[in-house]
Amino acid sequence: MKLLRYGPAGHEKPGCLHADGTVRDLSGVVADISSATLSPQMLSTLTATDVDALPVVADPGRIGPCVGAPGKVLCIGLNYSDHAAETGATPPGQPIIFHKATTAICGPYDDVELPRGSEALDWEVELAIVIGKKAKYVGEAEAMDYVAGFALFNDVSERNYQTKMEGQWTKGKSHDTFGPLGPWLVTKDEMGDPHDLAMWLDVNGERRQTGSTSTLIFNVPTIVSYVSRFMTLMPGDVIPTGTPPGVGMGMKPPVYLKVGDTMALGIEGLGEQKQTVVAA
């Protein structure tokens, strides 16, 4: 099932994408697509719903982030060896975890802000894991039982804030609009194997990133299990899993986004996004 949220920011309604391409209203089934509705029990109810009988949303308007109010956004850094190489970093021996503020989350077609004083705004197409069940000290063999589904994510980054200012990466990852999520959450049963998905990103119509989730250093079960050793994962938590090569930081010389630039990106089975860069 492809779950989505539509409507003005802060007032999104739950919906799903029908096989005929229409958006269907899920308001009569659930209040939102969020932590309260991503448990295995609720997902079973949703996937058993007769989508054909749901009301058609004639004009859904804005598509919002596919998960409402995630409790945590925990990103995995340098999780593709070729991306690590282009940034001059050594591929990690263990998953690198960093936080992205939840206020960075936005819709897949919302504008992305260039922060005031920014000179190094960058792009990163990523596969995001969405947690569906409380997870603590989870083994790799059972880790997929705690996953609700997957979504497309753009881990927008300000590289000077990330690498040249003292402290952790968080300040370069957390500006408003630095986390376009969606357009939909594909439930685990429909997604199948998440480890062989083509992914791409264009800037102003030019291909910048081409990759596949088959080259992840740490796969989905490893990530879920590893992160659950250090903190409890809750339903609705989002874990972007890293990006393939082709980011602006890795170009020689580096190339960064400016006001008016557009990003278009996609992952096989998870839809596409498009954003325009605007001044903050």
> What is the tens place of the pLDDT at every residue in 33-92?
999 999 999 999 998 999 999 999 999 999 999 999 999 999 999 999 878 778 878 889
Q: What is the mean pLDDT of residues 209-219?
A: 96
Query: Across all residues in the chain, what is the average pLDDT?
Result: 96
Reported as a single tens digit per residue, the pLDDT across 236-277 is 999 999 999 999 999 999 999 999 999 999 999 999 999 999
Q: What is the mean pLDDT of residues 193-200?
A: 97
Please give the model's pTM, rounded to 2 decimal places: 0.97
The topology (CATH level 3) of 65-279 is Fumarylacetoacetate hydrolase; domain 2 (3.90.850)
216-220 contact pairs (CB < 8 A, 24+): 216/79, 216/80, 216/241, 216/242, 217/78, 217/79, 217/80, 217/81, 217/91, 217/92, 217/242, 218/76, 218/79, 218/95, 219/195, 220/129, 220/143, 220/144, 220/147, 220/194, 220/195
For the residues 212-222, what does the mean pLDDT come to?
A: 96
